[in-house]
Amino acid sequence: MSKEAAAGPDGVPRCPWALSTPDYVTYHDEEWGRPVHGDDALFERLSLEAFQSGLSWITILRRRPGFRAAFAGFKIAEVAKFTDTDRERLLADTGIIRNRAKIDATLANARELATWAPGDLDTLIWSHAPDPDGRPVPKTIADVPAVTPESTILSKALKKQGLRFVGPTTAYALMQACGLVNDHLETCGARNAPSGARGPVH
């Protein structure tokens, strides 16, 4: 894999990780790095990043429709009501990743978040967005970190509030995916698009 932005089939330069499959191209161009707001939307991203731990993101991305069906569209209020019967259903669902610890963490997180006031998750996560002017623009994928001081602090804040499977690496992947940071490479065509032309995702 190239370490620098490379041209895709349409000639547009993209981050090199985005060029391996059409699924990645679409995700890179339309979602990754765009601001995401809303408690349910952020709960979905947080849950999927936790499921991704130890796996490739493409594995999660291709199963996302299955995850959404299995977890009631990641509506916190609905998932918080899941019973032991639902848990057993999830453990048998081939449309998702059947990891017991990750399923249990997702259910526990929903129950915890259901006790928060509306907007609290959004506020907590976005309060840890670093100043973009203080971050160097990555030129190659070698310049993109897996964890940062900010993601470590975010991880600690989420854990302090009772959330699980939210380590610093997972927290940074969330920050990248949800637009708290812009890790598109300097010459990537999407570098200036996430918070500008396309607007936030809800």
pLDDT category at 30 given cuts 50, 70, 90 is: very high
Distance CA 90, CA 70 (A): 7
- Rounded mean pLDDT, 32-46: 97
Report which DSSP code applies to 14: E
DSSP letter string over 46-114? HHHHHHHTTS-HHHHHHHHHHHHHHTGGG-HHHHTT--HHHHHHHHT-TTS---HHHHHHHHHHHHHHT
**pLDDT at residue 198 tops 90:** no
- The string of pLDDT tens digits covering residues 45-98 is 999 999 999 999 999 999 999 999 999 999 999 999 999 999 999 999 999 999
- Name the residue among 108, 127, 6 with its Cα closest to residue 50: 108
- Whether the CB-CB separation of 60 and 48 falls below 8 Å is answered with yes
Return the active site residues: 27, 49, 57
Beta bridge partners of 14: 6
- The string of pLDDT tens digits covering residues 139-163 is 999 999 999 999 999 999 999 999 9
- Whether the CB-CB separation of 38 and 29 falls below 8 Å is answered with no
**pLDDT at residue 201 tops 80:** no
Residue-level pLDDT at 197: 37
Distance CA 91, CA 133 (A): 44
Average pLDDT, whole number, for the chain? 93
pLDDT category at 134 given cuts 50, 70, 90 is: confident
Residue-level pLDDT at 105: 98
Confidence (pTM): 0.92
**pLDDT at residue 106 tops 50:** yes
- Rounded mean pLDDT, 113-123: 98
Residue-level pLDDT at 1: 61
| Crossing angle (nearest 10°) for helices 84-91 and 100-113 | 140
At a CB cut-off of 8 Å and minimum separation 6, what does 81 contact? none
Residue-level pLDDT at 4: 87
Q: How many CB atoms lie under 10 A from the CB of residue 66?
A: 14
At a CB cut-off of 8 Å and minimum separation 6, what does 79 contact? 43, 71, 72, 106, 107, 110
Per-residue CA distances from 124 to 132, 153, 161, 181 (Å): 18, 11, 10, 15
pLDDT category at 202 given cuts 50, 70, 90 is: very low
Burial status of residue 84 (CB atoms within 10 A of its CB: 0-12, 13-18, 19 or more) = exposed
